[in-house]
A and B are shown apart, each in its own frame.
Chain A
């Protein structure tokens, strides 16, 4: 039963991605997407309890669909390149510059929809006036869906978190942690969207349009508090209301900053910080609602720059992608670190499907202040899905359902997926989603490991280690070595040890 349901979910992720592949070209033939906040208030959030008996959800990996968008490119010209020279260069690929995106030092270039964006990027990159050019690769969440109750959160005792909280009880609102993800359930409201018919697979069943629907949202009850959220931004819908239409971002934000010691639900690591929800990846419902952007490299890069420019001291990227390198993201993360922000990136969930290089994480060793985070399970072994490689720097609990079943994953509050993923039940039971009903769910993935490190970084910054490079050094220095002695490709420098890092150095001991 478990296996079959898990299998069905895995197929669905792939199928949804196939549908996504066709979506970009179809956008032009449709009305502009609708996303209208029709009410600032909504019915109170529903707490639908602990989902400990659900079958485990598989970690998300990149879909097998075409991994980049067609019809456009990311290009950065070298400083001093005249507009005329830029136009001449773009003419080589029949490209035209689109309106400059916000929070970006690069341009988005429109090219023919049937042109090969990788070939066009390669041709442009060969020009001396071009710093880099790349296709707009999709970026995916690094999670696994699977739920209150501190006693179910094995992940915190596993890193001696209780004694770490003695030293630093959850940081303070002076530290802002940006969650660049699928959005966060940060506020209530009713949004009006237009839906469209779609198929989850090219020859799959047709899901009918639901017409124009009003969708209720609520703030996650165990996450929201006074002045909790700062500078919310949605780069998928280009708004300041980054509603989570997926559940991934809300779960990730919970591990970073779930309200703690409040007698409700679960705990988070840095439970006093402010959270900046920045939506940079699209969930399946965003795509059904025809969001103007999907989660591509350029969108994520803009989100990173936005976050640091608006005061984030820690950035969590529980997202990633495979494919070719992503210079636009490397520069954006370098910019963030240079402005004093620490960046935690999920190392990827692709180990059993080729262990391909996770492109958002691969340059972590070159940037002091950025850490690529792998995952361990309850048994302190590498989680079955967690990527290995030279770029892996540290590990944290990401959960593994192969070491403890469903409860071997990471428990946090997120949406009731039964009321969100209605498309998984076939066209007959497909209906409008609700984003106002919450459960405590177990998810697994390096997506769940990275926020442990982001929360930990917030504690270190609050404690006084304010430089991103020093945060990274403190994490590595005190990590609990796992696997072969010293750094290795499976566990990096080892399992994070927040207490030891927070204590730092004494004179003789």
Chain B
């Protein structure tokens, strides 16, 4: 425990500079994903097994904001005008001994588009507003590569329950969708401590939610033969706790 505190306090001045750089990097949209991945990889390579920041046990809360690019790109683009959108979330993370962590996270994607008709690849907008809401609740476990550097890379995987809700104007109850699907996810990220009780992290997540879309023959996802509700999310996390 004492080692961890010393290392942490010893990096005070550098930590401040690091924060500015890190925020600038991680407020990225999807197109900067390769850059984020490269930075994470460099951090891993540069890490040395010095004194670790990770406590033997702590419980932390976090909030995050990010951007998800959905695997069902054509379907989301056809109805919502884009295959990506902002995701807001938050959760609780427990840091366990042996640099293991486990987290529970809930997030929400919500976007309004319009219903369409397709003839081949030709799209006709019908002007009927439809709102899609995706609310994953994910349980993730992983390992923190904490070797005493300023950056603490981490990686993990887990299981998620993805709520999908689609509601459009003029729909009767049964014509709206409200379902929950099982999915899986892998995450990788880098955390940097900003203050004693505060840290930030940049994180990339890949998730798969098979057989969630395309069941209804009168759906765009069936037309495009897209069934996976998963996708790739890049996010910035703000962590409260040690």
Contact = CB atoms under 8 A, between A and B. Distances in A.
Contacts of B116: 504-505
Given A167-B128, A473-B119, A505 B218 contact: yes
B119 A470 contact: yes
Interface in A487-509: 500-509
A503 B132 contact: no
A509 B170 contact: no
B179 to A, nearest CB: 8
B79 interface: yes
A509 B219 contact: yes
Contacts of A508: 75, 132, 164, 166, 177, 212-216, 219-221
| Dominant secondary structure at the A interface | helix
Contacts of A509: 166, 175-177, 216, 218-219
A483 to B, nearest CB: 20
Given A464-B125, A470-B124, A507 B170 contact: no
Given A465-B117, A473-B119, A506 B219 contact: yes
A467 interface: yes
A506 B218 CA distance: 7
A92 B220 CA distance: 59
Interface in A460-488: 463-467, 469-470, 473-474, 477-478
A166 interface: yes
Interface in B159-179: 164, 166, 168, 170-171, 175-177
Contacts of B1: none
A503 B122 contact: no
Contact of B166 (A469, A478, A502, A507): A507
A463 B126 contact: yes
B126 A502 contact: yes
A432 to B, nearest CB: 51
Contacts of A167: 128, 170
Max count, chain B CB within 10 A of own CB: residue among A167, A501, A509: A509
Contacts of A465: 117, 124, 126
Nearest to B212: A508
B39 to A, nearest CB: 34
A466 B126 CA distance: 10
* B contact residues, range: 35 or more
B223 A505 contact: yes
Interface string B206-228: 00000011111011110100000
Contacts of A502: 126, 128
Contacts of B219: 505-509
A503 B132 CA distance: 16
Given A505-B117, A507-B75, A507-B76, A467 B122 contact: yes
Given A503-B126, A504-B115, A166 B220 contact: no
Contacts of B128: 167, 502-504
Nearest to B165: A508
Given A508-B219, A509-B175, A467 B164 contact: no
B79 A467 contact: no
A463 B164 CA distance: 27
Contacts of B46: none
A503 B115 contact: yes
Interface string B96-126: 0000000000000000010111110010111
A504 B126 contact: yes
B111 to A, nearest CB: 10
B136 to A, nearest CB: 15
A466 B218 CA distance: 20
Given A469-B119, A470-B117, A474-B117, A506 B168 contact: yes
Nearest to A460: B117
B10 interface: no
A478 B124 contact: no
Interface in A170-206: none
A463 to B, nearest CB: 5
A153 to B, nearest CB: 22
B130 interface: yes
B80 interface: yes
A88 to B, nearest CB: 47
A474 B164 CA distance: 26
B168 A463 contact: no
B49 interface: no
A507 B125 contact: no
Nearest to B113: A507
Contacts of A467: 119, 122, 124
A171 to B, nearest CB: 13
A507 B79 contact: yes
A500 B175 CA distance: 11
Nearest to A478: B218
A501 B132 CA distance: 21
B127 interface: yes
Nearest to A461: B124
B170 A503 contact: yes
A463 B122 CA distance: 15
A507 B70 CA distance: 12
Interface in A415-474: 463-467, 469-470, 473-474
A507 B80 contact: yes
Contacts of A504: 115-117, 124, 126, 128
Max count, chain A CB within 10 A of own CB: residue among B113, B122, B214, B215: B122
A507 to B, nearest CB: 4
Contact of B221 (A163, A463, A500, A507): A507
B117 A507 contact: no
Contacts of B170: 163, 166-167, 503
Contacts of A477: 218
Contacts of A470: 117, 119, 122, 124
A465 B216 CA distance: 21
A504 B122 CA distance: 13
Contacts of A464: 117, 124-127
A504 B116 CA distance: 6
Nearest to B164: A508
B221 to A, nearest CB: 6
A243 B240 CA distance: 81
A28 to B, nearest CB: 52
A467 B119 CA distance: 10
Given A506-B218, A508-B220, 8 more contacts: A477-B218, A502-B126, A505-B79, A505-B219, A506-B79, A506-B216, A508-B75, A509-B177
Interface of B: 72, 75-76, 78-80, 113, 115-119, 122, 124-128, 130, 132, 164, 166, 168, 170-171, 175-177, 212-216, 218-221, 223
6 contacts: A463-B126, A465-B126, A473-B119, A502-B128, A504-B117, A508-B212
